[in-house]
Amino acid sequence: MTLSIAVAGKGGIGKTTLIGLLVRALRGRGVRPILAVDADPNANLAETLGVDEGRTLADIREEGSAPEGSPSSGIGRVRAVEDELQRAISEAEGFDLVTMGRPEGPRCYCAVNNLLRKSLDELAWNYAAVVIDNEAGLEHLSRRTTNDIDYLIAVLNPTRPSLRAARRIVDLSRELPVRIGCRAVLLNRVEPQGLPVEVERDLEALDAYRLPDVPEDPDLLRAGAVGRDVFTLPATGPALSAIDQVAEILATHTEPVH
């Protein structure tokens, strides 16, 4: 059974880096193969994971919706989209990456989006886990890469504005046409002195499961500044150690349902 994890959060909070660490931690726990899906239009998960981005699904969508693109209907078009999707996969040791790419343009994309959705759903069953990097709006998640999401994780920094954004993500998720098993929050860049009292109080009122906090990690900041991928980080780093605890929870389904 495929473990499906969707992660969302506003820009600049370190969401994509945490997703890269989560892929590394899950792989280290023997959860493999993993399909990482970069569904954020500001795509940089490939750099975080140290792989080539490859062809994006947006490129396939544009070509498939053009008059001169894939066959207009029937099994020929289905196979054409499936073939293009296979070529768009960037392969690595223990995980693969698919990048969705830029938002839609002015054409009609309904037919090719349906084919891509179907192909991605079928592709996901070949993996032990699927990890989806979403933007805060969750638009890509509403188009689905799996019909069911085991975990929706809202990443936030320990500030009240960031917490409000996480609450919006959790609330929006209840309107999506997918089953979500557990809604969770993950605090990133937590200082040694802990959280402000106001933030702690607001977190307790949030209807979401709280995953282990991720502490501030100087090595992680330096790696991001020079464009090094997460696999270059020491295994004993504080951020990776925290994410390994998160991976254990996700892989063993020890959380309550929210």
CA 57-8-88 angle, to 5 degrees, is 15
pLDDT value at position 113? 57
Q: Do the beta carbons of residue 133 and residue 35 sit within 8 Å? A: no
pLDDT at 65 over 70: no
> Is the pLDDT confidence value at 70 over 70?
no
Chain segment 3-22, per-residue pLDDT in tens: 999 999 888 889 999 999 99
Is the pLDDT score of 28 beyond 90?
yes
- Please compute the mean of the pLDDT values over residues 206-214 and round it to a whole number: 93
Q: Cβ(50)–Cβ(224) under 8 Å?
A: no
Q: Which fold has domain 3-252?
A: Rossmann fold (3.40.50)
What's the CA gap between 140 and 166, in Å, rounded? 17
Q: Which residues pair with 90 in a beta bridge?
A: 97
The average pLDDT across 106-119 equals 57
Residue 257 has pLDDT above 80, yes or no: no
Please say if the pLDDT value at position 254 is more than 70.
Answer: no
Q: Could you state, in order of their start, the residue ranges of all structural domains in the chain?
A: 3-252
pTM listed for this prediction: 0.88
pLDDT at 253 > cutoff 80: no
